[in-house]
Each structure stands twice: as C-alpha cells, then as structure tokens.
Amino acid sequence: MTDGSGTKPDQLRASLAQVALRRLADNPGADITDLVRRMDDLKKLGDALPPSLKKKFLMPMAVGAICLGVLGASLVIKVDAIGLKSSVVLNANASSMTFSPSSVWLQADPVKLSAGQLRIDNLIVSFSNPPKAFQGLTTSQWLEVQGGNLALQSLSLHKGSLATVDSSKSGETTLYGDGASGEILANGLSDLKWSRPSQEPATAALELVGEPPEIFSFATSGRGAPGRLAFVPSGPITFENISVTDLKFGREVQTAPAESRFVSTLASGTLRLPDIGKEFNLLSDRAISFVGLTGTIEKMTVDKKIELRFVGKAREIYVGSSDVRTNATPSLLVYLYRNQIVAFLFTAFTVIWGALWSLARLTFA
C-alpha cells in the first residue's frame, strides 16, 4: 500500500527525518516544525492503511506451522530421544538365549546330571583328588565324564560377562560363558577321558562307591574362546531372579566360507509394552532385539527348550523377521497419552488452540 506517489509512508517518514537531521546539523537553531508535522501526518496515514498481505498472513501461518511441527514431531520422535525407557514384559520359548548379568549371579540349587553326559571345553579344570585322575587341565584341553552320579553343585556368572544357554530336543544343555565358574560333584563309578598336548587322550576309572564324592572345579581363564559346559540334566532346571543388562535370542550361522547370517532362536512367545498397552506375538520367524536393556529374568526353565519370563525396561525395541525389523519403541505422543495425561492434554490443547486461531485469522481477517 502506498500514498499515491508509489512511495510507502514509512519510507517518506524516513526521508523527512534525514532532511530534518541535515538541517539541524547545518543550523542547530533551524525550524523543523513543518517537517515534524508532516512526519506525524505520515504516521497517522500509515496506521490507517490496512496491513500488507505478508504482515496479515505471516503470524497465523507461522503459528499454524509450529502447531503442525509439534504434532508431527510428537508422532515421529521416540521416547528414547528424551531419555525415557519403555517397560518390557517378555514371555518366550527358545532353543538358545544369551544374557549378561548386571551383578554376580549364583545358582541356588544343585542340578543332578544324567550319567555319562558331561563334557568340558575351554575351561580350567582342577580335581580334588589328583592321584585318582589328574592334577589339572588347561583351557586347551577337554574332559569327558561317563557314568557315575554327577551333580552341578554350584555355578556362578561374573558381573558383565556373557553367557549363552542352549537346550536341544535331545535333552542336552550347553552353557557357554566368558565369566563362569563352578563345581561338579562325582560319586559312584565313572570313566574319565581327557586330552593331552601332543599325546593320545588319557583315561581313568574313578571308583567312589561308598566313599565321599570328589569335586571337579572349573573356571574360565578370562581370555580366548568362551568356556563350554555340556551335560544332560536328569530333569528340568529352573533359574530365578537373574538381573541382566543384555538379552538376545539368536545366533550367527555360517552360510558360506566368508559369510554368516543371523538366525532367530525364538520358537514362540509374547512381547508386551505396558506403557502403551501393545503386545506382539513372537513367531518362529520373528526376531527381537533391545538397546539399553535392564531388568530381571524372573524365571527361566530349561527342559529340551528354554522358557523364560523377563520384566524390565529398554531404551529401544526392535521386532520383525530375521531380515527386516521395525522400531517398536513408543512414540512420544502415544507415551504421553498413556502415561502422562496432564502433559498430553496440555500439549493437545495448545496445538488445537493454535491451529484454530491460525485458521480463524486466515479465514476472517
């Protein structure tokens, strides 16, 4: 909008102000009353003129854009972006699982083993009665025990170590760990066989009928390949209350000499996210993974398969097939709606009010 000569009132006022300043600079006593009056008239004229289209629509459009941006961001941004973790409840059946204890974990009860079903690899092994068998074995040696009455008397996992439990349909249970130690009690009649460097394996008959049991102590060395303890329990094994910081269900399977593929070991189960009331069915072709996981394996039963219940929190949650996984972490908007109703209502009111105000200004201005 102009004043008829094509010049905006604000520009004319600026020009008159410069003229007045030059007059005063040349003559401090100069009369500039006429210039001041004309500048006042131009100001009144500018105030009376309608605003330009740019000024008229800029504020409503800006507010509307901000409202849409807030709404879109709350739908896209996950709760982990603001430092929140999502609650997780997992009930799963699997053939293998890997976890990392967040503190030293000790086995509560002894586990009886079926006769003739024990092998130890990559572990340091010592024997309580060396004259009857051996002084000790290094991680480069293996030990097999057949027959007799065997029991896994104690088992502990170090804080921060990785432990993998495999359970096959044949009943064999295998424990892999880089921070495991424990004791196995032997009684009755057992046949021992162990490897020796650059020699044929050694054998010995362990006769402990009517005698106190002997003890095989084992522990990882802290370096090299994880230790391996394979046995067949005489019945189901139950572990409880294991605090963990990692939980995985899968293994790398070699598909070519230089290639491998991740395969999920889940057979079935459910993954529930209580914060948003959502549940996923875990089929055999589905994989799950967590980032920033903390929680407790409340109960784990090993009996030709692994059944467990886990309760905890995770920063990120991924669910999908072995090849394609999606981020199941709740969005900020859904989380606020389910858990922070006051914050959700305030955000919703602000966005709706801003959108309606912008629409009204654009429509009726």
Alpha-carbon span 325 to 310, nearest angstrom: 21
Residue 287 maps to a domain: no
Is the model more confident about 21 or about 233? 233
E strand or H helix at 71, and its extent? Answer: helix 53-76
Residue 213 maps to a domain: yes
Q: Which residues does residue 191 pair with via DSSP β-bridges, in sequence order? A: 146, 205
Half-sphere exposure of 48 (CA within 13 A, CB side): 9
Residue 38 maps to a domain: yes
Same-domain pairing of 211 and 115: yes
Alpha-carbon span 194 to 215, nearest angstrom: 16
Q: For every residue of 232-300, which 3-state class applies, written as one string?
A: EECCCEEEEEEEEEEEECEEEEEEECCEEEEEECEEEEEEEECCCCEEEECCCCEEEEEECCEEEEEEE
In terms of Cα–Cα distance, which of 344, 360, 258, 266 is closest to 71? 344
Q: Structurally, how many domains does the chain consist of?
A: 2
Residue 132 maps to a domain: yes
Same-domain pairing of 228 and 110: yes
Contact 202, 194 (CB under 8 A): yes
Query: What does the pLDDT average to over 8-37?
Result: 74
Whole-number percent of the chain with pLDDT over 70:
74
Last residue within a domain, chosen from 178, 213, 233: 233
Alpha-carbon span 105 to 108, nearest angstrom: 9
For the stretch 174-213, pLDDT in tens is 999 999 999 999 988 999 999 998 889 999 998 888 888 8
Q: Is it the case that residue 342 has pLDDT exceeding 50?
A: no
Same-domain pairing of 188 and 114: yes
Task: Give pLDDT, residue 257.
Answer: 72
- CB neighbours of residue 350 within 10 Å: 13
Alpha-carbon span 167 to 196, nearest angstrom: 29
Task: Give pLDDT, residue 201.
Answer: 92
Say which residues have a Cβ less than 8 Å from residue 190's Cβ, sequence separation at least 6.
Answer: 145, 146, 147, 148, 150, 205, 206, 208
Same-domain pairing of 118 and 189: yes
Whole-number percent of the chain with pLDDT over 90:
41
Same-domain pairing of 109 and 208: yes
Same-domain pairing of 138 and 36: no
DSSP string spanning 181-246? Answer: EEEEEEEEEEEEEEEETTEEEEEEEEEETTSPPEEEEEE--SSSSPEEEEEEESS-EEEEEEEEEE
Same-domain pairing of 127 and 229: yes
Same-domain pairing of 214 and 130: yes
**Domain range enclosing 1:** 1-50
Cα 156 from chain centroid? 25
Residue 338 maps to a domain: no
3-state secondary structure of 362: helix
Same-domain pairing of 112 and 229: yes
Residue 267 maps to a domain: no
Amino acid letter at 35?
L
Instruction: Kindly provide the b/e burial profile for residues 97-116, where b requires at least 16 CB atoms within 10 angstroms of the residue's own CB.
Output: bbbbbbeebeeeeebebebe
Q: Is it the case that residue 86 has pLDDT exceeding 80?
A: yes
Tokens of 100: 């990392």
Last residue within a domain, chosen from 199, 233, 267: 233
For the stretch 246-257, pLDDT in tens is 999 987 776 667
Residue 98 maps to a domain: no
Q: Worst-scoring range by mean pLDDT, 62-71, 91-100, 143-152?
A: 62-71
Residue 65 maps to a domain: no
What is the radius of gyration, based on Cα positions, of the chain?
38
